[in-house]
Amino acid sequence: INASYRALDSIAAIGQRRETIDFWARRSGGVAGRIPDYQAIINCGLYDMRHVIAAGNPQWLENIENWFFRVRDNNLLQTHAFADAPRDRNTPGADPGYLKIVERRAGGIVINGAKSIATIAPFADEFLGLTSPRPGMQAEEVLFFSLPMNADGLHIICRESLIPRAEAGHPLAPHWDELDAYMIFDHVLVPNDRIFHLQPEGEVDINLLGQMFFGILSWPLWHILARASVKLELLIGLADSITDHLGKRQDPAVIATLANMAIHLEAISALLYRAEHEPVPSAGGMLLPNPRQITAGRVAVVDNHPQLLQQLRELSGSGIMMSPSSRELDHPDIGALMRANFVGNDPRATNRFALQKLAWDLTCDSFGSRQLLFEMLNAGGAQLNKTMFMETCDLTDARQLAMDLAGIGREGIDLLKKVR
């Protein structure tokens, strides 16, 4: 069985699964967020929540289990999408294009509408349909299902590729641009054996929908933070190497900036360590890395990532934009001039150029801009994650401490007397 599907039934198993995450993340520096290793953990989340999602329906439960084992045992790649197509919410009467059931047949349901953003959709074998809760949702819009990517009426509309025309000087973009896509369902039949959950007619149970949706996402959120920690390590390593190659590694201002970056990485690493060593029981009887620390780490990443990229830009200086690539340095007409003026007798010059080209891909290029958007939005923005964190954050002891020391409780008065 693929190691990405390892059952998390002990702290040791969590550690082994983390090694798998790190193994793949280090191959790309953490810029590949939707590789098969990640998609597998989404599937594990679905399987773990199967009894909640099936809601007492034995056919749905069997469908989830059959699909999970087929995808796992055959190493099939799934893509998924739960975001709705963007629209102007203030335009009355506009058809929002929400994916919904438009017909019920003996053999299944017919669905119509669109979903976004299905990353790596052009390369996937399967589509996993999930529904995120939102205000005003109708019963026919609550859908948990799967489809083969070649289903009749299913269309994949990809965004523009971010691969540069010339690969020289772009160490990341030509290899790791994960295509995002719209999924348009033009009256697509979902067979009965691929339906995982439908909402009964009537008012949508938003609480149950949220339990199902966020229960599934609790698993990949750990993967997201673990991968992000590898990207943070790349950023601090790149900043340290570039400043060393520029001869300003010992400048006090540079040291302070590097320290801020390294401290952020240490904080994320500490949150991951605690989450992995203080797991909580999952809905399916597994051990789930503690969502409280995972969400706290996610908030820290979202809040700090733009600043870290800007710090890397500033530390790199203008060379991040103007460092020559092998195309210029080895060009038959201008190569000698480029080397005479930009390399000279510096034995590390070409290494510096390579480092700054990597920094360009991460922070300035269109590929880097997509990377920033991905980190900011791929598991909900800062506001959503902070709300999720506070829903699980018990401040009872902290509040009691404050009240006691303010003299509101007897304990606070006694403590103040002892201090005096």
pLDDT of residue 55: 86
Rounded to an integer, the average pLDDT of 54-77 is 96
User: Does the pLDDT value for residue 410 go beyond 70?
Assistant: no
Tens digit of each residue's pLDDT (9 = 90 or more) over 207-238: 999 999 999 999 999 999 999 999 999 999 99
Q: Where are the beta strands (DSSP E) in 116-152?
A: 126-129, 143-148
Cα gap 283→47, rounded to integer Å: 10
Tens digit of each residue's pLDDT (9 = 90 or more) over 265-306: 999 999 999 999 999 999 999 999 999 999 999 999 999 999
- Of 50-54, 193-197, 323-327, minimum mean pLDDT range: 323-327
E strand or H helix at 419: helix 410-419
User: Does the pLDDT value for residue 181 go beyond 80?
Assistant: yes
Cα-to-chain-centroid distance, residue 313: 23
Tens digit of each residue's pLDDT (9 = 90 or more) over 313-324: 999 999 999 898
Tokens representing 343 are: 């390399």
Nearest-10 Cα torsion for 328, 310, 31, 122: -80
Rounded to an integer, the average pLDDT of 346-369 is 94
Tokens representing 339 are: 């080397």
pLDDT of residue 85: 80
Rounded to an integer, the average pLDDT of 249-254 is 96
Cα gap 354→360, rounded to integer Å: 10
Mean pLDDT computed over every residue of the chain: 92
**What count of Cα atoms within 13 Å lies in the side-chain half-sphere of residue 160?**
6
pLDDT of residue 169: 84
Cα Dmax for the chain: 85
Q: What separation in angstroms does the CA of 273 have from each of 26, 31, 38, 50?
A: 18, 22, 19, 28
E strand or H helix at 339: none
Provide, rounded to the nearest whole percent, the portion of the chain with pLDDT above 70.
96
DSSP string of 47-77, one letter each residue = HHTHHHHHTT-HHHHHHHHHHHHHHHHTT--
Tens digit of each residue's pLDDT (9 = 90 or more) over 114-161: 999 999 999 999 999 999 998 889 999 999 999 999 999 999 999 999
pTM over 0.85: yes
Q: Given the DSSP bridges, would you call strands 126-129 and 143-148 parallel, antiparallel or unpaired?
A: antiparallel
pLDDT of residue 126: 98
What phi-psi label fits residue 154: left (phi over 0), alpha (psi between -120 and 50 degrees) or beta? beta
More confident residue, 327 or 373: 373
- The 10 Å Cβ neighbour count of residue 93 is 4
Structural domains in the chain, CATH included, are: 3-208 (2.40.110.10), 213-320+351-397 (1.20.140.10)
- Amino acid in position 56: G
Tokens representing 411 are: 């304990």
User: Does the pLDDT value for residue 419 go beyond 60?
Assistant: no
User: Does the pLDDT value for residue 87 go beyond 80?
Assistant: no
What lies within 8 Å, CB to CB, of 157 at 6+ separation is 181, 182, 183, 184
Which pLDDT band, with edges at 50, 70 and 90, does 404 fall under? confident
User: Does the pLDDT value for residue 412 go beyond 70?
Assistant: no
pLDDT of residue 53: 96
pLDDT of residue 200: 86
Rounded to an integer, the average pLDDT of 67-80 is 97
Cα gap 325→215, rounded to integer Å: 47
Residues 159-168 as b/e (b if ≥16 CB within 10 A, e otherwise) read eeebebeeee
pLDDT of residue 388: 85
pLDDT of residue 134: 87
Task: Tell me if 119 sits within 8 A of 377, measured CB to CB.
Answer: no
Q: What separation in angstroms does the CA of 68 have from each of 62, 126, 192, 196, 400?
A: 10, 11, 16, 11, 47
Cα gap 397→403, rounded to integer Å: 10
Rounded to an integer, the average pLDDT of 339-343 is 88
Cα gap 363→375, rounded to integer Å: 13
Task: Tell me if 232 sits within 8 A of 26, measured CB to CB.
Answer: no
What lies within 8 Å, CB to CB, of 84 at 6+ separation is 96, 97, 98, 99, 114, 115, 116, 134
Cα gap 172→163, rounded to integer Å: 9
